[in-house]
């Protein structure tokens, strides 16, 4: 497995390989990330993973400075998965001090996490666009736990005519249903016991779609979560196609949730 830290190294490697899949990450890898790598190997001849904790997608008072950096362990895990290359850029490599360009995807970024994390999706779209331009992959894979993020990137790729195929990979879960996330490590022992309730509430909300109104489903779910120590950011039923709030006449739905448990913000969807 080759490890690159500069753009020129990545581009030289890319020229030598004809069909490349790309998995962008912020490191602190878990089984969900490794599943993306395994799926990537099915779609391309070579797989490259980036590890970059992107400062522009963190808001004020968020956890950029404390976000876990485990690059040595991450590279060992990737080598065990027969990953072909890893891109480990510095902040200065990705963001020039004189940079003046930001990629912003309007409308689909506005609700849910976009409403509570100002500028977050501008940071996501900008860094992913930069990484796509550096790596120039044929295929890129993202986990669907961050469904709004995937939708934002889909929209950006479509609108900017970027020559990359996006593949969304279903959420990988712990045995008790908790969606795997690098931030799960922040949970205390008691919080970790409570955390699976978020997924259970999503499942119950899905069952209730056939018998209750959307308003009732959302109200019940929020109440249940608040009764189990969650501080709910949002719990909403939306249309999968454009993430507009769903009406009773809509089909092809997604239920999206974000809530804090202690100091840890968890997101999930069904």
Torsion of CA 147, 224, 200, 34, to 10 degrees: 40
216 three-state secondary structure: helix
Q: Is 30 a catalytic residue?
A: no
Helices (H), the chain: 7-15, 31-43, 71-80, 91-94, 113-116, 120-135, 147-159, 189-194, 197-208, 214-226
Catalytic residue among 33, 43, 120, 161: 33
> Is the Cβ–Cβ distance between 223 and 232 less than 8 Å?
no
Residue 212: count of CB within 10 angstroms of its CB:
14
> Is the Cβ–Cβ distance between 172 and 32 less than 8 Å?
yes
Residue with tokens 């804090």: 260
Interhelix angle 147-159/120-135, rounded to 10 degrees, is: 60
Range 47-69 burial, b when 16+ CB lie within 10 A, else e: bbbbbbbbebbbeeeeeeeebee
Q: How far is CA 147 from CA 39, 53, 219, 241, in A?
A: 18, 19, 22, 11
Please list the active-site residues: 33
């Amino acid at each position: 497995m080759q490890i690159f830290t500069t753009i020129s190294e990545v581009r030289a490697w890319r020229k030598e390989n004809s069909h490349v899949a790309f998995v962008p990450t912020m490191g602190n890898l878990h089984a969900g990330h490794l599943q993306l790598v395994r799926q990537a190997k099915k779609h391309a001849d070579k797989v490259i993973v980036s590890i970059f904790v992107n400062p522009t997608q963190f808001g004020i008072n968020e956890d950029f400075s404390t976000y876990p950096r485990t690059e040595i362990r991450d590279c060992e895990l990737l080598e065990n998965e027969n990953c072909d290359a890893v891109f480990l850029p510095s902040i200065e490599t990705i963001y020039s001090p004189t940079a003046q360009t930001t990629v912003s995807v309007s409308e689909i970024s506005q609700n849910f996490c976009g409403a509570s994390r100002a500028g977050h999706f501008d940071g996501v779209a900008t860094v992913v666009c930069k990484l796509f331009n550096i790596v120039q992959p044929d295929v890129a894979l993202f986990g669907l736990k961050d469904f709004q993020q995937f939708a934002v990137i889909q929209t950006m790729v479509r609108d900017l005519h970027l020559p990359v195929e996006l593949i969304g990979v279903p959420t990988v879960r712990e045995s008790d249903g908790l969606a795997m996330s690098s931030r799960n490590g922040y949970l205390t022992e008691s919080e970790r016991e409570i955390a699976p309730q978020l997924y259970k509430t999503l499942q119950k909300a899905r069952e209730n779609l056939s018998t209750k109104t959307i308003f009732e489903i959302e109200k019940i779910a929020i109440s249940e979560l608040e009764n189990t120590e969650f501080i709910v950011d949002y719990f909403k039923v939306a249309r999968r196609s454009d993430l507009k709030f769903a009406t009773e006449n809509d089909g092809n739905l997604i239920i999206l949730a974000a809530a804090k448990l202690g100091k840890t913000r968890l997101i999930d969807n069904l």
